[in-house]
Each structure stands twice: as C-alpha cells, then as structure tokens.
Amino acid sequence: MLNDAAAPLSHLGAGSRQALLLDLAERAFVLVLVSTFLYRLVPGVSDSPTNLLIMVSEGLTALMILIRRPGPAMNTGYGWAIAIIGTCAPLLVVPEGPEWISPATAIGLMSFGLLCSISAKIFLRRSFGIVPANRGVQREGPYRVVRHPIYFGYLLAQIGFFCVNVSVINAVVYAACWLAMVLRIRAEEEMLGLDPSYAEYQQAVRYRLIPFVW
C-alpha cells in the first residue's frame, strides 16, 4: 500500500511526473550553486559592502526559486539553457579588480537595484522561477513601470558590482548573464503572450526592462 507522500505522485501522468521532477531538480541545482557562491563571498564581506549587497541580491533569487509555486513552464532545451545561464552566470563573479566608480556610487546603485528587485518579488510572491513559465500575470507596484522589474533590479545591482570589480572574468560572466536575460525576457513574453490578459498588460506597459529604452 502506498504511503501518503507517494500516492499523489503515483496519480500523476508521465508528463506531470516529469515536470515535477524537473521542478525539484531546478530547485536543488540552484540551492547548490547559491550555497557555493555564498561560501566563496562570505570571507570578503568585511572588505566591501558591495560583496554583501551582491550576496543578498543573488541569495534572495535562490530563496524565491525554492519557495515559488509551480506553473506551466517552457519544457525545452532552449528554455532551460537560457534559464540556467542567466541564473548561474552571476554566481561565477569574483570580488577583485580595479574600480571604475567610487564605492559609494556603487553601493547606491546596487542598493537601488536591490530595492527594485525586492519590491517586485514582494508583489510577485511565489509566482517566481528561472524557467520561462506562466504563473500568473502581475500588474501592480513596479510592474506598472516595466514588465520585468526584477531583471531591472538585477541589472542595476550587477552593474554596480562590476564597476568596482572590473576584470575580464567578470565582464565575460555578466555579458553571458545579460544576453541570457534578454533571451529569457523574449522567451517569457512569447509564452505569456498566449494569455489574453498578458497581451492586454503588454499594451498597458510599453517597456520590457529599461524605462524609455526597451
């Protein structure tokens, strides 16, 4: 006789079981990567506040993925590839290199980016994940300004961190991250565009990522 934990899984179809397993694998993968990232940066927290800010920014991303609710996702190799690159690339940066801007300016930029991403996550609540999926349409708060305010916050925080940790490694990492970010936005909107309510939202909020730019 099946126990209570196994019974729900046994009643799922093959497609649903695969989706559930991929969902669990996604969460486990992100947990391992972020744990490694935090372990590497913790020793440098006392060296610069920017290290702490980038840890908080990426750590919150992991937390939201771990507690988010499941939803119909883009179950393709392309969808998973851009999601993994976009999520994992920022975890490969190193806190070293010359400064292009003052630490105070970087802290201000990162703090504002963190505020943007946190406020957007509060409105999004558990409708969050790294693979493009339809987990509901959010229209309130920062979603009135751009359609992807969480990514906007990430972008500001990452630019701030890079500008005080300029190196070839970090440039390559963030170039891959930002390219994946653009591709993720396009993939998400292609999927969400099938929902009439999201099509209406696109008409109401013109810009995807950066106000008055794109």
Return the higher-pLDDT residue of 40 and 213.
213
Q: How confident is the model at residue 6 (pLDDT cuts 50, 70, 90)?
A: very low
Question: Across residues 9-28, what is the average pLDDT?
Answer: 66
Q: How confident is the model at residue 126 (pLDDT cuts 50, 70, 90)?
A: low
Residue 73 backbone phi and psi in degrees, to 5: -110, 165
Q: Give the max Cα distance, the chain.
A: 65
Give the domain ranges of the chain.
12-204
**Is the pLDDT confidence value at 147 over 50?**
yes
pLDDT at 31: 79
The answer to whether 51 and 44 are in contact (CB under 8 A) is: yes
pLDDT at 47: 80
Q: How confident is the model at residue 5 (pLDDT cuts 50, 70, 90)?
A: very low
- Give the pTM: 0.76
Minimal CA–CA distance to 201: which of 156, 153, 134, 122?
134
Amino acid identity, position 77:
G
Q: How confident is the model at residue 111 (pLDDT cuts 50, 70, 90)?
A: very high
**Is the pLDDT confidence value at 106 over 90?**
yes
Mean pLDDT of the chain: 81
pLDDT at 113: 94
Cα distance between the two ends of the chain: 56
pLDDT at 9: 47
CA distances from 149 to 6, 121, 188 (A): 38, 9, 14
pLDDT digits (tens, 9 = 90+) for 91-105: 888 888 999 999 999
How does DSSP classify residue 101? S
pLDDT digits (tens, 9 = 90+) for 35-94: 888 887 888 788 888 988 888 887 777 777 666 665 555 556 777 788 878 878 888 888
The answer to which of 111-115, 138-142, 170-174, 208-212 has the lowest mean pLDDT is 138-142
Burial (Cβ within 10 Å: 0-12, 13-18, ≥19) of residue 67: exposed
The two tokens of residue 144 are 């009135």
For helices 149-163 and 168-192, angle between their N-to-C axes, nearest 10 degrees: 170
Cβ-defined contacts of 106-110 (< 8 Å, 24+): 106/50, 106/160, 106/161, 106/163, 106/164, 107/49, 107/50, 107/53, 107/160, 108/160, 109/156, 109/157, 109/159, 109/160, 109/163, 110/50, 110/53, 110/54, 110/57, 110/156, 110/157, 110/160, 110/161
pLDDT at 154: 92
